[in-house]
Structure 1
Amino acid sequence: MVVLGRVIAPHGIRGQIKVTPFTEYVDGLMEYPTWWLSNDEKSWKIVHPTSFSVHDSLLIITLEEYSDRTNASELKGLLIAVPRSQLPQLSEDGKEGYYWSDLIGINVVNTQGEFIGTVAGLFETGANDVLRIQLPGGKEELIPFVDQAVRQVDLGSRQIMVDWELDY
């Protein structure tokens, strides 16, 4: 399974939910007619999104299985995933790649080996993508996802090495 978003709260009284997508495009989750929901990535519940609207960087989703706020509120905090086999191939040449969702939660260290934080999200600026890093203590740091700053992405060890100082 590849985690592509998180339910953050119920919305309204008709069972809709607010979702933070981990996809490149805000509405990218809607390409998948079936979602798997979990809080532990071990046991999954299948749901079917039927309609959506975009509000800033959030999705407001209607699920076929939920029609009232009380039931939808039980979904708060759950991860949204799809099987990796349903995702498009990353590259034509078959080289290993990654999705943005693969980077969420990965540790970020600098070239001196100092821990900076963990990836909380990514977003586009038009010029380049940007990593949102959750620092120890709760603050966030933004690091441009460009070759000059991001030196290595190692999914195996769940680590990103950046050319970035702790006091930037």
Structure 2
Amino acid sequence: MQLVVGRIGRAHGIKGEVTVEVRTDEPELRLAPGAVLLTDPASTGPLTIESGRVHSGRLLLRFAGVADRNAAEALRNTLLIAEVDPEETPEDPEEFYDHQLIDLDVVTTDGTEVGRITEISHLPYHDLLVVARPDGGEIMVPFVTEIVPEIDLAAQRAVIDPPPGLLDPGAAEVATARGAEDGNEDQGEDQGGA
């Protein structure tokens, strides 16, 4: 299974380093020296990470064969893709990879069918579960413990306790605002990604 784990940003310095927007909860594993990553566009890869460091809160990587600023700048906006074993799970039982959550059935605490998770949207404060409704609509559910108290991978379902209005059309803004307020005490920050 292939998962996007980062996006290359601007070149840093003159020796081929680039900034990287991290899109994984495990950068120390996925973006470690020696890792070989596929790319989108495919024509720029695969890329092998030669070295990495954090500078002023940003991850900087250097790839094998990328020796100067021009070569680094040519990689800008390239997506970095890791091959992940679909059976692999995070060490913490309260964390989940995106691929584990996609296609889970979503039900309320009383068993009412809500829909199916189609995507995970990673935001700065918390993640959102994008849920396709049976009627063709879509809702966004903040992935915080208060709203998503249970993920049951064996039963292939996510149980939600929706606040008033979440399941109504146009309620995504309300849910997002509520989740942002609760974001610092939630499970979403460390659940998404690869």
- In the superposition, the TM-score normalised over structure 1's length comes to 0.58
Does residue 64 of the first structure (1) align with residue 64 of the second (2)? yes
RMSD of aligned residue pairs (Cα, Å): 4.4
**Percent of aligned pairs sharing the same letter:** 20
Which residue in the other structure is 1:145 paired with? 144
Q: CA deviation at 1:50?
A: 1.2
For the Cα contact (< 8 Å) 2:33–2:51, is it kept in 1? Answer: no
Structure (1 or 2) with the greater helix fraction: 2
Which residue in the other structure is 2:81 paired with? 81
Q: Partners in 1 of 2:148 and 2:80 — Cα distance? A: 27
Q: CA deviation at 1:68?
A: 0.9
Gaps of 5+ in 1: 134-140, 154-159
For the Cα contact (< 8 Å) 2:34–2:50, is it kept in 1? Answer: no
Q: Partners in 2 of 1:43 and 1:161 — Cα distance? A: 41
Q: Partners in 1 of 2:90 and 2:68 — Cα distance? A: 41
CA distance 1:67–1:143, shift in 2 (3 Å) = same
Structure (1 or 2) with the greater strand fraction: 1
Q: Partners in 2 of 1:3 and 1:24 — Cα distance? A: 11
Which residue in the other structure is 1:5 paired with? 6
Among 120, 127, 132, the alignment partner of 1:131 is: 127
Q: CA deviation at 1:98?
A: 4.9
Q: Which amino acid aligns with 2:19?
A: K
Q: CA deviation at 1:132?
A: 6.3
For the Cα contact (< 8 Å) 1:53–1:61, is it kept in 2? Answer: yes
Among 22, 30, 33, the alignment partner of 2:32 is: 30
Aligned residues: 139
Which residue in the other structure is 2:50 paired with? 50
CA distance 1:119–1:64, shift in 2 (3 Å) = same
Which residue in the other structure is 2:133 paired with? none
Q: Which amino acid aligns with 1:16?
A: E
Which residue in the other structure is 1:20 paired with? 21
Q: CA deviation at 1:150?
A: 2.9
Gaps of 5+ in 2: 109-113, 130-139, 152-157, 179-194
Q: Which protein shows a greater Rg? A: 2
